[in-house]
Structure 1
Amino acid sequence: MHSNYLLFTTLLLSTTCTLSYVIPNNDFISLPLIKRPRSLTKRATLETYRLYNADKIEYLTKIYIGTPPQEFLVSIDTGSADTWVPSTKCPTSECPYEKFEQDKSSTFKALNLSFSVTYGQGSIHGKYAKDAINLLGPESGLTSNEQTFGLAESARDIISEDTEMTSNGILGLAFPALAANSDTLEAYNPFIFELAAKKIISQAIFSVSLNDANGWQSELTIGGVNRDKYVGEIHYVPVEKNINPKTSKLDYTFWSVKLKGIQANKNNTIAVNKNVILDTGTTYSYLSKELADQIVQDVTQQKVSVDLQSQLYIVDCKLRSSNQTIELEFDQNTRLSIPVADLVLPPADKDSNECGFSITYNFDKKQTFVLGDNILGSALFVFDIESKRVGMATAVNSRSKIV
């Protein structure tokens, strides 16, 4: 019988990922993770990086699949639901690192079902399977047996060959309806949702604190909230349904909330009233062009300029020392106030006066609103599976505030 765990997973700035279990009492187990810059993708150009430092960030954890367990380093992603790792059928040019060897797992079960997922950049194709998956290695009881997951036979523009410490798969944290096979008889609970359904974790929630200012370590927490990571109270807002493209009906798919308005540089609040996706798998934040133009104009008091290669606005690097704020208004009168300085990317050349601004718009003209890590890192976010709500709280050592 499984024990209930409150699992704290700590994101470390590191070039290695060594497992060390810390159990100060019987309430939780800690697991080191990695925070690292994303590498250039095949479609990116060097010119993008000459202008300013546009390196993206991804947050990685180890997962263990099969019996005996095989280890994979994967990205945590609230913007997708499927968990997948490379199959032995994936070519080395697309999957250069570890591949899941199904013949070596005594608990592996193949499923006669294909899947494909298209991300903001890149796509995967493969087959579903079932096996034991856990986050803490074979010694832990935090395991979902016969867990459905994906084996990628193709992973185009997903896995980088630039460094060994790169994502070699994805741990999907979004709602089950967003899984690739959610409209089939093989629909399943994603890993975290299955842990909650089986009551393997103490509470059906997980939380992220991506703030690493002043040496404070970032953290993903499964099964609870680490009280040491925030000050004040947690303010909850309801998760909003979106149109499920498979059924054309409203459903819980993404972790999305209602963005009611934005105020920049203490100007009048700009009404928004749109659903916005909270996505740890995206580095920057994306709004409509009209809204992004207005925000940048309010901040800079100048005509906006966009770098088409990086698809980011260009601003004066002096804003990195600005005392301006941008305030996001959500439901329940919940407001997140963020220093403008925290949204300005550092220049690649220390003598450059041009920097990128990490709020932009979708150049493919989709009107999807996304808050990525540049916003999610400004506060503690709690994802409540059972009550279908998102909590926000002021993170310890953060200059941003929930007001």
Structure 2
Amino acid sequence: MKISLCVALLAATVGVIQAAPTEQKTHKFTLTRNENFKRDPVRAVAKAHAKYHKHKKGGKGGVTAATSGSGTVPMTDVSGDVEYYAEVQIGTPPQTLKLDFDTGSSDLWFASTLCSGCSSTQTKYDPTKSSTYQKEGKSWSISYGDGSSASGITGLDTVNLGGLAITNQRIELAQQESASFGQDPVDGLLGLGFDTISTVAGTKTPVDSLIAQNLISKPVFGVFLGHTSTGGGGEYVFGGYDASKVSGSFTTVKVDSSQGWYGFTVDSAAGAGTTKTGSFSAIADTGTSLMLLPNSIASTIAKSYRATDNRDGTYTINCDPTKLAPLTLTIGGTKFTIPAADLIYYKQGTQCIAGFGYSNMAEGILGDVFLKNVYTVFDQGTPAIQFAKLA
């Protein structure tokens, strides 16, 4: 499950280049784990579906990003790669909050002391304890496909991403939260999409601010999401990427950012046996756990694994990874493989839920099931997205 803002779908225009981004001075965020968090694949599908339909727009209006900057942040792996979050410092003196980093949304919001109904397990930001807080008072509201919601007012404060101090960043303080947020290990969300889908119009995202305030040297950030089986964790590198995590060269595909997220084209998907699909548009979304495919693509892949449709966006799949073949996505002419073990998302009793599903959308949403098996560089300046195999 992910706390992620509901955003829309797009058809991506893709160009392909074989190149590695220039390595720059960076700063890292590390991810941590929460053993009490429970995964819910049906809820994950519902959230992702609403996330991409809420802000659905027509047209091709592009997004132009300024160029400047560099930095890195460590991440925490939750309950077997279900979710990743970072500890972010807000205000002066700093108040540390656990935030879900989400490339599929663009708001920075979290629990606050203004919220009487927020979970007792959440850390709540207290604006009265920050000397750099400025009251703003714009209203914001977010709702999700599973019925959960949050709302409140905006303010301005210093946001420290692993040593990179963004000043006068707009923050969204929750005054109300639905009870379901108490089940999540995070205190809020940090959106890394484009600013056109910010809930409050005219908001600069944290990446916008890193660029505008010359805190990073390039308008990019690299993402590595770890596997629990190999120690978990992860990191976001703002302004560059971590070369030690990369094997070989990058495959770069241009994206259409007009809908506010990183969309691109997948050339094909290949499941068990000789099964191979045609091309489809997709979105790289760190804020979604599963890999959700367009209906026809998902159906083809599911048949190759003899997976059963649960009629809720999920499939039941064989629980024995030794009896499953890896799933391969070809992007920009390069094949990227999802190991058989990662095709098993959740086991309950003798039943296993697949790491891939569907959400009745034309575009696929490539969440953490895919992204933890590649190194990804999100280039806001071009805009483009770059994938490399892991070292």
Match 1:196 to one of 196, 211, 224: 211
- For the pair shown, which has the larger CA radius of gyration, 1 or 2? 1
In structure 2, runs of 5+ residues without a counterpart are 1-23, 36-69
The aligned counterpart of 2:308 is: 305
Match 1:380 to one of 375, 379, 383: 375
Residue 340 of structure 2 corresponds to residue 340 of structure 1: yes
The aligned counterpart of 1:33 is: 75
Q: Give the drift of 1:342.
A: 2.2
Q: Give the drift of 1:8.
A: 2.0
- One-letter identity of the residue aligned with 1:177: T
Q: Give the drift of 1:129.
A: 1.1
Q: Give the drift of 1:217.
A: 4.8
Contact (CA 8 Å) 1:70, 1:100: kept in 2 or not?
A: yes
Q: Give the drift of 1:226.
A: 0.6
Change in Cα spacing, 1:273 to 1:198, as seen in structure 2 (3 Å) is same
| Higher mean C-alpha deviation, range 276-285 or range 262-271 | 262-271
Residue 130 of structure 2 corresponds to residue 99 of structure 1: no
Change in Cα spacing, 1:33 to 1:340, as seen in structure 2 (3 Å) is closer
Residue 83 of structure 2 corresponds to residue 58 of structure 1: yes
The aligned counterpart of 1:156 is: 178
Change in Cα spacing, 1:7 to 1:252, as seen in structure 2 (3 Å) is farther
Contact (CA 8 Å) 1:68, 1:106: kept in 2 or not?
A: yes
Runs of at least 4 residues off by over 6 Å: none
Contact (CA 8 Å) 2:101, 2:191: kept in 1 or not?
A: yes
Cα-to-partner distance string for 1:288-341 (whole Å, 9 max, x where unaligned):
3332121110122xxx523356x42112223x11462322233x3233222333
Contact (CA 8 Å) 1:322, 1:341: kept in 2 or not?
A: no
CA distance in 1, matches of 2:161, 2:310: 40
CA distance in 2, matches of 1:346, 1:169: 24
The aligned counterpart of 2:322 is: 321
Contact (CA 8 Å) 1:284, 1:371: kept in 2 or not?
A: yes
The root-mean-square deviation of aligned C-alpha atoms, in Å, is: 2.6
Match 2:165 to one of 143, 157, 162: 143
Match 1:293 to one of 296, 299, 304: 299
- One-letter identity of the residue aligned with 1:8: K
Cα-to-partner distance string for 1:50-81 (whole Å, 9 max, x where unaligned):
xxxxx771111111112222221111111111
The aligned counterpart of 1:82 is: 107
Q: Give the drift of 1:239.
A: 1.4
Instruction: Return the TM-score normalized by structure 2.
Output: 0.77
CA distance in 1, matches of 2:268, 2:210: 35
Change in Cα spacing, 1:267 to 1:381, as seen in structure 2 (3 Å) is same
| Number of residue pairs matched by the alignment | 333
In structure 1, runs of 5+ residues without a counterpart are 16-27, 38-54, 242-250, 397-403
Q: Give the drift of 1:252.
A: 4.7
CA distance in 1, matches of 2:28, 2:118: 35
Contact (CA 8 Å) 1:132, 1:146: kept in 2 or not?
A: yes
Contact (CA 8 Å) 1:116, 1:126: kept in 2 or not?
A: yes
Contact (CA 8 Å) 1:85, 1:168: kept in 2 or not?
A: yes
Q: Give the drift of 1:13.
A: 4.5
Q: Percent identity?
A: 26
Q: Give the drift of 1:215.
A: 3.6
Contact (CA 8 Å) 1:347, 1:356: kept in 2 or not?
A: yes
Residue 130 of structure 2 corresponds to residue 123 of structure 1: no
The aligned counterpart of 2:355 is: 358
CA distance in 1, matches of 2:120, 2:109: 12
The aligned counterpart of 1:177 is: 196
Contact (CA 8 Å) 1:11, 1:219: kept in 2 or not?
A: yes
Match 1:272 to one of 269, 274, 279: 279
Match 2:137 to one of 112, 135, 155: 112
Change in Cα spacing, 1:367 to 1:360, as seen in structure 2 (3 Å) is same
Residue 94 of structure 2 corresponds to residue 69 of structure 1: yes
The aligned counterpart of 1:206 is: 221
CA distance in 2, matches of 1:11, 1:154: 27
Contact (CA 8 Å) 1:86, 1:95: kept in 2 or not?
A: no
Contact (CA 8 Å) 2:140, 2:153: kept in 1 or not?
A: yes
CA distance in 1, matches of 2:102, 2:217: 21
Q: Secondary structure at the match of 1:271?
A: coil
